[in-house]
Structure 1
Amino acid sequence: MTAPDARESAPLLRTSPAASTAENYGSAATLYNEFLEEDSVSTSAIAKQEASLLVGSTIPLALAYLLQFSFNFVNILSLGHLGASELAAAALANMTLFMLVNAPAVGLASALDTFCSTAFTAARDKTLVGFHLQRGLISVTIHLLVVLPLLLYLEPILVALHQDPEISRLCSSFVRAQLIGTIPWMYFECIKRYIQAMGHMKASTYVLLGVLPIHLANNYFLVWSPTVGFGFLGAAVANVITFWGMFIGLVVYICLSDARRAWGGWSMQALRTMPQYYSLAIPSMVLVCSDWAAWELMAIAASYLGNVPLAAQTIVINTCSLTYQVPAGLSIAVTNRAGNLLGQARARRSRISSFIGLLLGCISGSLSSAFCLIAASWWGSVYSSDPHVIAEVAVIMPICALFQLSDALNGVSGGVLRSLGRQKAGAWVNFPSYYFLGFPLGLYLTYGSPGMGVTGLWIGICVGVTIASIGQTLICVTADYAEEVSRCMAQVNKNMYIAAESDSENPDDSV
């Protein structure tokens, strides 16, 4: 199949995708309509244009991820001075919320990366983007209702799992207090993807920059202040205030920007068509949860090795989380860019943009790898003064260097797959790579006859993520982007039909 001509009007488009989008959304669409698709434009020229756009989008997105990462870091610093039990309880509470709430919610919301980015440029009725947002909000709300009983009665569950009774009590109270902020946090993740699909890449960064000083102040006043502070639970309350601030800030931004035009009001049809949404959302959730769970399982496995290996493991995981913020931002940028181009029926440019994203992911990962090699001997001293911990970190960091390159490529290739709506393929690659190969190999190297200690865990996870990144990248580079355009148009046509179905049959359903 030959690539569609850029000037050709698809069935859902008024004149051309770019013209339709620019006509209705003006500056919000500028990022995605800046360059014309001409057969005479060389591949190198398009590559330079796409590289410039992706880098420009990645910077604010990476900063936003870094800001979100800093919120939990501030909490740990604040609680670390209260006592070992409080710090352990907060860490256990965070792990519980990450695995039961955050990871599944991010996975469910990630389906919006596919639905919204293509709908914005392909659909003649831009409120289809808002229709998809409704389905994302419904999916995370349903998920919270499912896990809510576990979160409300967490203490007896932890005690039954032989956790320390005092830590179980503190952890349970921390989780219950933070539940008030769970809904706005999940809605923030959904709305963030809604506006990013329309080119508003800096919005979440502005909101998080505004919330950060409030979060810092609350962690002092609510935890340590002799007048209004109430210690351990003050950190949970600070999180709740921060999450509500994030959500409200993004809603206010939408109300004041042209992003509000894509919101068409609530419709019962969004609820009726949830099975179609879950067809992408569940594989997305598997992708996210398999990645996050691997980290938590590594931490649990390392905890049986003693305090020094566990401390070294914690330092290296924290380092990986820090360096991953750039590939994470790049992943979102390439998802929306390639998805928007598919919606504009620009197969050639979408393919080049995806390839440039993968190349930038390799560059980002290589820089992180170089840092791990250069800083291996002294990086542990940034976190600890224990010479044994520093020495253990120095052993792990060279292995972590190889991991950095594979992890960055894995993240960006996952973004390309989301733009193509190929989450199922990614899930089939990721899950067995981590849990049938990487993690079992790590356990064998650590606790089996090799007896390699925490180094074995890192070799195992490095093998797993390398296999996953190779598999996902092969899917990306062998995809037929002209066929993907046809599939994208068919999907948007279907979504337009089901979104409009209730309006024609039940005009009072939408508000």
Structure 2
Amino acid sequence: MAAGDNQDLRGPSAVDHVAEEISKLGPEHPPTAEASTNVSMVRSYRKPVVSAVAPLGPGMPETTRPSTELDRKEAMHEERALLLDNNITPPNVGNAYQQGDIDSLPDEEAPVQSHDLPTEGAPLLTPSSGGKSSQQELHQKWEDAVLEGRILTTWQLETKTLSKSSAPLVLAFFLEYSLTVASIFTVGHIGKVELGAVALASMTANITGFGIYNGLATALDTLCPQAWGSGRKKLVGLQTQRMVFFLWTITIPIGVVWMCADLILMRIVPDRDVAVLAGRYLKILILGAPGYSFFESTKRYLQAQGLFSAPFYILLVCAPLNAFMHWLFVWKFNWGFNGAPIAVVITDILLATSTLAYIVFRVGLECWPGFSKRAFQNWRPMIQLAIPGFLMVEAEIAAFELLSLFSSFLGTSYLAAESVLFTLGALTFQTPFSVSVSASNRIASLIGASLPDAAKTSARVTGVMAVIVGVTNAMLMISLRDILPSLFTNDAEVITLIAQLIPVMAAFQLFDAVACCCNGILRGLGRQKVGGYVQVTAYYAVAIPISLSTAFGLDWRLYGLWAGVSVALFLVSCVEIIFLYRTDWEKSVEDAKSRNENG
């Protein structure tokens, strides 16, 4: 799934004509189950490029409204590349594409005639000076190409696609991460109690709220791209509606917990003042929960259509406003501690309204089915993916938060060093996580398009990118080990601890990146259940016991705490790689078809 590219479109092409002719072969909407038995996978195939441009394949509408001009140009460019790679584009058209001479391509009205395919490498459809080809022959040749697996992708195309879609995600996730950091930076200058309270509130909110929203919403990483890849565009909007209402329903028990947070935290945290302030922060934060959950759902709605830059543009506006409001409310208006959660609430509401406005005025309602009672029906397939997705995310979030809790028993310096290491780990995680999100959307789209071989290629490219990112992160941390600690603290003891532990963190960067990207591939396949089981087992049956026994039993202290996490990430990487190598990708295609048909 790629973001936009500035390729010039100055005239019609023979490929456009071929796409138009093929699109006329089937009805505008997907056929019924009875009809689909006659056309096999043809009716389920849709061109797996990333933007809302007319897909190739029978049974699709002739044209669709482009999301943006930039996305339209990029989608057309990638479509041509895919056609060239599979020898479907006529040679003379392919040469013109490669040379960039689009104006020299055959006119859209030029007649097209199909020919027999003497070899597998011959073009599927070639223009001719003869008469117009018959619809049955065009249909049969397209069907043969899909059934014979001739609609493939390449390493080069997947590398370019995943790289382009990952780049804006990295920036978007950094901006999103800054939303929470703003509270800590702003409130930290009020006093130690306030700093401890906002840190405790943020940790509680992540475990009991935001982590739950993010985990459950990963179901859309499967459902929306697979629906988009299959050409059922209205189903993308319907699945998003279901998730929004589902998350709003989950907000009720989350709100109850946050309303009682001060009473709960006072039984856990020895400092009563910190617990009371943290509870107040969470009570105010409840007002922004519906907006945050809406943003997480609609963000995936946009990503499924290949609009990976959209969340970045939205956060590029909202993140600076969030920082400004923190300063304005806390210091300028003298609201003190209460100003921080109020700023977060307003930011969450802005994220939701900005995303909605972007969809309505910039993207269009091509994938929006309108409000329907169907949004409250057939939740079971969504929940079957959402619960394991929740386990995948929540298991890791809670495990790392527990490390911070355990480090507090080692002393103040160790707790401070652990906080800095946790922040560094969160920052380096944004890059592999961006590749993971890009891969899950790309692979899910290809699976929805009934192209398992192309999905395998994309998964292999994702694996290589994960290794490159992991090694790069490790090298950066090692080379900057004497510089990074001083960016966070001036305490000599804490700086020494951080510098000593950075090589340990660098050592597991590779496993962290690989495990993260494997989870993304699993989401694309709709195999969140496997990832959920593996994550829970690795962290709570292996990592936590190793961390506690080595940190306190062997007196390895922070080395021991991070040793357990390193072992867990290594196990997650190995187990999920083995599963992906042995899994039945065709079954994922059938599962996707079943979900889309019953959508």
TM-score by length of 1: 0.90
State how far apart, in whole Å, the 2-side matches of 1:201 and 1:398 are: 33
Query: Which of 369, 375, 379 does residue 480 from structure 2 map onto?
Result: 375
| Number of aligned residue pairs | 486
Query: Which of 37, 42, 46 does residue 154 from structure 2 map onto?
Result: 46
Structure 1 unpaired stretches of 5+: 1-6, 496-511
State how far apart, in whole Å, the 1-side matches of 2:281 and 2:540 are: 31
Q: Which residue of 2 aligns with 1:140?
A: 247
State how far apart, in whole Å, the 2-side matches of 1:61 and 1:396 are: 29
Q: Which residue of 1 aligns with 2:463?
A: 358
Letter in 1 for 2:513: A
Paired residues for 1:124-273 under 5 Å = 125-225=232-332, 228-273=333-378
Deviates more, 1:156-165 or 1:434-443: 156-165
Q: Once the 2 structures are TM-superposed, how far is the Cα of residue 118 of structure 1 from its aligned partner?
A: 0.4
Q: Which residue of 2 aligns with 1:503?
A: none
State how far apart, in whole Å, the 2-side matches of 1:241 and 1:323 are: 28
1:468 aligns with 2:572: yes
Query: Which of 180, 183, 190 does residue 82 from structure 1 map onto?
Result: 190
Larger relative contact order (CA 8 Å, sep ≥ 6): 1
1:96 aligns with 2:127: no
1:426 aligns with 2:565: no
Letter in 2 for 1:169: V
1:385 partner SS: coil
Kept in 1, the 8 Å contact 2:46–2:230? The answer is no
Letter in 1 for 2:428: T
1:199 partner SS: coil
Change beyond 3 A, Cα 1:155–1:50: same
Q: Which residue of 2 aligns with 1:385?
A: 490
Letter in 2 for 1:457: L
1:224 partner SS: helix
2:508 partner SS: helix
Q: Once the 2 structures are TM-superposed, how far is the Cα of residue 15 of structure 1 from its aligned partner?
A: 7.7
State how far apart, in whole Å, the 2-side matches of 1:184 and 1:357 are: 32
Deviates more, 1:254-263 or 1:22-31: 22-31
Q: Once the 2 structures are TM-superposed, how far is the Cα of residue 480 of structure 1 from its aligned partner?
A: 3.2
Kept in 2, the 8 Å contact 1:21–1:120? The answer is no
1:324 partner SS: helix
Change beyond 3 A, Cα 1:293–1:15: closer
Q: Which residue of 2 aligns with 1:403?
A: 508
Q: Once the 2 structures are TM-superposed, how far is the Cα of residue 235 of structure 1 from its aligned partner?
A: 1.0
1:333 aligns with 2:464: no
Kept in 2, the 8 Å contact 1:195–1:259? The answer is no
Change beyond 3 A, Cα 1:320–1:79: same
Letter in 2 for 1:434: Y
Query: Which of 484, 491, 495 does residue 588 from structure 2 map onto?
Result: 484
State how far apart, in whole Å, the 2-side matches of 1:11 and 1:425 are: 30
1:293 partner SS: helix
1:345 partner SS: coil
State how far apart, in whole Å, the 2-side matches of 1:179 and 1:185 are: 10
Q: Which residue of 1 aligns with 2:41?
A: 10
Change beyond 3 A, Cα 1:16–1:169: closer
Root mean square deviation, CA, Å: 2.3
Letter in 2 for 1:363: I
State how far apart, in whole Å, the 2-side matches of 1:180 and 1:45 are: 46
1:458 aligns with 2:562: yes
Kept in 1, the 8 Å contact 2:45–2:448? The answer is no
1:304 partner SS: helix
Render the CA deviation track for 1:445-487: whole Å, top value 9, x for unaligned: 0111x21001100011110111011211222233333342233
TM-score by length of 2: 0.77
Q: Which residue of 2 aligns with 1:24?
A: 64
Kept in 2, the 8 Å contact 1:219–1:238? The answer is yes
1:118 aligns with 2:239: no
Q: Once the 2 structures are TM-superposed, how far is the Cα of residue 40 of structure 1 from its aligned partner?
A: 4.7
Counting aligned pairs with the same residue, the percent is: 28
Query: Which of 532, 538, 542 does residue 437 from structure 1 map onto?
Result: 542
Kept in 1, the 8 Å contact 2:46–2:449? The answer is no
State how far apart, in whole Å, the 2-side matches of 1:195 and 1:44 are: 25
Q: Which has the larger radius of gyration?
A: 2
Letter in 1 for 2:325: N
Whose helix fraction is larger, Structure 1's or Structure 2's? 1
